Amino acid sequence: MRSIFKLSVLLIVIFWPGYINAGEVKIIDSRHYSNVFGEMRNYRIFLPPGYDKNPQKRYPVIYFFHGWSQRYFGITRGSGFDKGNDNDGDNIANFVAEHDVIVVKWDGFNLRPDDEYYLRPYNISPVETYRQFPIYFPELVKYIDSNYRTIPDRSHRAVSGLSMGGFMTFWVGGKYPHLISAAGNFCGSPEFMVGPRKFPVEYRHIDIYKNYNGMKLRLNFGTKDFIRCYHKDLNRIWTQVMDNYEYEIYETAHVTCGLGEMFEFLMKTFENSSPKPKKWHHIDVYPEFSVWGYNVNSDRDFPGFTILENVNKRGFRTSVREFLTDGELMPFVNLYVTTTPIYGKNREYIVNDINLTKNKSAQYIIQSDNIGRLKIPLDGYLHEIGINKKRDIPNLSLASFEIDNMNWAAPMKNEKISIKLLNKGGIKVDGVRAELNATRNSVNIIGGESEFGSIAVNEIKNSKTPFIFYVNADSIEIVKFKLVIKDKENRKWSEFFEVPIKVSQPEFKNIVIADGKRFTVARAGTSKTTISLGAGNGDGAANPGESIAILVNDQNNYWRTYLYTSDKYVNPGGINPRLSDNWGSYDHVGGSAKYSIPVISSDCPQNHIIEFFAEYWLPDYPDHIIKRGKVIIKVTGEDRTPPQVRWVKIPGDNIIQAKVFDGGKIEYVKATLRYRNDPKKIFDIILNDDGIDGDRIKEDNVFSKKISEQKFGLYNVEIETADFLGNKSIGKISDIFTLY
């Protein structure tokens, strides 16, 4: 189906600034002062016929985000989509002429200080200025609602956009589900560097599917679109885990294909929008954010993601990770979650805080404020929070799951999955049983019920028997389950969770282990680079304590691989190094191939076999071909690899911090600071990881120390480390540090 909207009208241009009458559609170019940006910002607004004639009528609003090289007023190159014959008549003005809706185009212009004009909008990939367009969006909404006759609620507000604007559509939509009921993406880019200028992150839509609670989403893309392979990657995941997502493919290239149909989709959402979900999730790149009335504040000044899951009145789950979905946790981050005012005013509540990472629990009392909010202090570990009144009823949730006796779940075979439940409520619960349900026909549940018995407050308990499922298609990459939990009082709790599926593939035989040696490897699809990968003795064998990269020899190139395993001797203590090979210079999209540098535990037994699921990309312009297979390695030798330093920081509070990791226990970390104006002026500091004297979290591998004496100036820093086996290293840090 293809919808083309045409009007037999003359395009009349009224020659005064900012006003165009396209038929009866009034197009106004205007501007307002932005407190977020500290400058004037432009926008174009399309007002429907009758807007001036009926001053009592209000309208829903679609916010449209333009793409690369475009502006609010139109385009600097390529084809338009505003009015007249733009986009073969399937454009904004022609749609507004036939529908009671307002469309607002914001201006993504992001002038760099050293450029007269800059074609890349939105300050993403790379992040170069202070402008944060998602943070500006609520301000623009408030201005439009205050100055035009909108219906000022989320049920009558949507976003849409093309290409880079399509990326912004899903990003802004996922950041503000409480402001927006629908998001329509035309040929949107899949991944960009975004966020705070000092610590941006790689943001991939494919990982953020949980953000769209209570929204409806659609993606339009073309069979000739140079981004289409990324859209296909997205669809393989989103169609399996989201019931509120749809897509349409057109016989076209990288354009606003099916604009009228997309806007019809948004209009239908206005007629029947989804309410606020009873339980919601949210992932955010900013250290501070608000969503659904909750405020989250932190002192995070590193790239990462703050994650809220299963949020409702009885509690939530929270964590801070370096990347999604299984990035290393960031426990050194101090986090505060302030709830919406849904509790009694100035009343005491019992908080159950279960640290799932450390398998520890605590219970304490927090008093609500005078409007009924709770402010809960946390760190970046994986926490499950229960909020209870005295002697409150039980509150059961999914603590964790694992595939029995397997490194990963595979299709076309019976898979046993063990599930652990947690009671974060106010009293013990008896007679607990659970039922596992599939959400797609591609999964058969064979053993769908299990009992848990009684579960005490803050207790985590495993199912007495595993659940069994069977994925009946080898094209499935992820499956979503619904777990229904009941107790003997017939109280019921429900949770959804996802399990990645690794399709069985042959073993990659032509591999090389990089353990501290330099290799010439493929880069950005069709280029090459010579770099050192991993850390170890460089002999090409996997030894305990080493960090390794697995290179596959294919098409006369070495390709870095993304690796997955559940082997207990890989990445001890939650270490999970992952890097990226950006393919922007090859396909001009912004996506990147990920590759792993896993760490082998120091206590890995001799001749232990590790099996990885591996994947890498091959170029087939404009596509990338994803190659998958198994990698099997044998671990031999001894741990001769010293601890490795990830980063060093000295914030304004004069606390020196060093992130250090190793395959085993780290014995000590010492910092030597050398005054730049007098290199002979040096002092040493022993850093600690015991949670005192400037160290935030005990045993999180961030070694810290408060520099108590005033030593103002610029310094070079060396870090000396040693592990429990006596392996030592000394390395200079390239940054220059300031003490105050």
Segment 191-235, tens digit of pLDDT: 999 999 999 999 999 999 999 999 999 999 999 999 999 999 999
Same domain? For 573 and 473 the reply is: no
Q: 735 lies in a domain?
A: yes
Tens of pLDDT, residues 626-678: 999 999 999 999 999 999 999 999 987 899 999 999 999 999 999 999 999 99
Which of 271, 295, 316 marks a domain boundary? 271
- Asked, for residue 683, whether it belongs to a domain, the answer is yes
215 & 267 share domain: yes
- Could you tell me if residue 158 is inside a domain? yes
Residues 6+ apart with CB under 8 A from 735: 648, 717
Domain harbouring 200, CATH code: 3.40.50.1820
Largest CA distance in the chain: 84
Residues 520, 485, single domain; the answer is no
Asked if 564 and 599 sit in the same domain, the reply is: yes
d(CA 348, CA 350): 7
> To which residue do tokens 């090859």 refer?
586
Instruction: Give a yes or no: residue 230 inside a domain.
Output: yes
Type of residue numbered 433? R
Same domain for 294 and 152 = no
What is the edge-to-edge ordering of all strands in the sheet holding 666-675? 682-687, 666-675, 713-723, 728-739
More confident residue, 132 or 405: 132
Q: What is the pLDDT of residue 543?
A: 98
383-410 pLDDT tens trace: 999 999 999 999 999 999 999 988 999 9
Note whether residue 151 is domain-resident: yes
Q: What is the pLDDT of residue 680?
A: 87
**Cα–Cα distance between 368 and 339 in angstroms, integer?**
10
Same domain for 600 and 653?
Answer: no
The strand pairing partners of 649, in sequence order, are 657
List beta partners, residue 183. Answer: 159, 217
Q: Are residues 438 and 352 in the same domain?
A: no
Question: What would the DSSP string read from start to end of 241-283?
Answer: H-SSEEEEEESSSSS-TTHHHHHHHHHHHHHSPPPPPSSEEEE
> What's the pLDDT at 15?
32
Same domain, 103 and 247: yes
Domain co-membership, 94 together with 20? yes
Number of domains within the chain: 5
Please count the residues of the chain. Answer: 740
Q: What domain range includes position 267?
A: 11-271
Based on the fold, state whether residues 310 and 330 are members of the same structural domain: yes
CATH number, domain containing residue 494 = 2.60.40.10
**Average pLDDT rounded to a whole number, residues 589-598:** 95
Domain-terminating residue out of 577, 600, 635: 635
Containing 648, the helix (H) or strand (E) segment is strand 644-649
Q: Which of 635, 666, 695 finishes a domain?
A: 635
Q: Is the pLDDT of residue 296 over 80?
A: yes
pTM of the model: 0.94
Mean of pLDDT over the chain: 94
Residue with structure tokens 């490194």? 407
Cβ atoms within 10 Å of 56's Cβ, excluding its own: 5
> Of 66-80, 154-168, 498-512, which range is least confident?
66-80
Q: Are residues 216 and 126 in the same domain?
A: yes
CB 445 within 8 A of CB 419: no
Res. 10: pLDDT tops 50 = no
For residue 36, the 8-state DSSP code is T
The answer to whether residue 5 sits within a structural domain is: no
Is 540 a member of any domain? Answer: yes
| R_g over Cα of the chain | 28
In a domain, 326, yes or no: yes
- Write b or e for each residue in 42-53: b if 16 or more Cβ atoms lie within 10 A of its Cβ, otherwise e: bbbbbbbbebee
The region of weakest confidence among 3-12, 291-300, 432-441, 483-492 is 3-12
Query: Do 299 and 262 share a structural domain?
Result: no
